[in-house]
């Protein structure tokens, strides 16, 4: 049997699909990052009595084998707190582990805040990159933005309400005239959509900022006056975020930071 990946509503229960409901009702085991959130969703959908296991970064080593063993003979469903599992959450590692172990994986289509903000932005999407959450330290964020803007494609980001103002301030420092589209509380009652420069978007946010946030940055040509890329800082921050050496080298090469083989050697040197 496959491990079934089931997207869950971002906020509006009307976004649940018939297939998602069927899989949740039939599941013999539901795997979720936060079982409390999953139980609330199941209760709202009138689905009771399901066995739930927690799967998160902190316990993945202890529970992965058991989950995959169950998936070989039983109906196992993977959900996230909201949206598509595997997108900026630990479910991605479980899916990779299932592939490595020869366990089939079935992914149902459904809600994704990343794709929602991308389409709503109206920015070019022939090429785009999902960047996930910006790094937490201000200097690292500025380096990260500088690096991502070099790719010349629309980029999609998530951010917490507590850090969004500081993040937009760092984007102002790197690219003050960038075009930003931000969605707060996507699909929910108090959804807010904002378009403008980083400073204009920050000014239009409520105080205090609440709710889930996703934003897109339009393709941008960095000028010479913008902050230069500190390659070693970028490598160190990406290593600290858990990226593998091959991923870092590929990402930096795509951003125009050098030859991928040379970058790979430099990353390994920084690791040592």
Q: CB–CB of 255/148 below 8 Å?
A: yes
**List of the chain residues with pLDDT < 50:** 222-228
DSSP SS3 for 184? strand
What three-state secondary structure class fits 165?
Answer: helix
pLDDT given at position 227: 46
- Provide the pLDDT for residue 254: 65
pLDDT at 240: 81
Global pTM value: 0.78
Question: Which residue carries 């951010």 as its tokens?
Answer: 159
């Amino acid at each position: 049997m496959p491990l079934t990946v089931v997207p869950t509503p971002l906020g509006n229960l009307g976004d649940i699909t018939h297939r998602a409901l069927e899989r949740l009702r039939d599941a013999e085991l539901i795997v979720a990052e936060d079982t409390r959130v999953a139980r609330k969703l199941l209760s709202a959908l009138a689905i009771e009595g399901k066995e739930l296991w927690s799967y998160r970064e902190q316990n993945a080593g202890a529970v992965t084998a058991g989950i995959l063993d169950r998936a070989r003979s039983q109906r196992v469903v993977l959900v996230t707190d909201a949206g598509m599992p595997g997108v900026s959450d630990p479910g991605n590692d479980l899916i990779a582990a299932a592939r490595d172990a020869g366990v089939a994986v079935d992914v149902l289509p459904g809600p994704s805040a990343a794709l929602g903000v991308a389409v709503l932005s109206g920015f070019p999407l022939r090429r785009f990159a999902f960047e996930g959450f910006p790094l937490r330290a201000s200097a690292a964020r500025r380096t990260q933005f500088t690096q991502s803007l070099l790719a010349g494609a629309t980029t999609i980001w998530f951010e917490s309400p507590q850090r969004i103002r500081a993040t937009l301030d760092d984007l102002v420092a790197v690219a003050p005239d960038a075009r930003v589209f931000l969605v707060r509380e996507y699909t929910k009652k108090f959804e807010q959509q904002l378009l403008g420069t980083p400073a204009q978007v920050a000014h239009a946010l409520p105080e205090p900022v609440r709710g889930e946030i996703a934003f897109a940055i339009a393709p941008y040509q960095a000028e010479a006056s913008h902050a230069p890329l500190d390659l070693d800082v970028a490598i160190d921050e990406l290593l600290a975020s858990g990226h593998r050496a091959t991923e870092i080298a590929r990402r930096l090469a795509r951003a125009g930071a050098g030859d991928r083989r040379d970058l790979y050697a430099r990353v390994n040197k920084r690791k040592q």
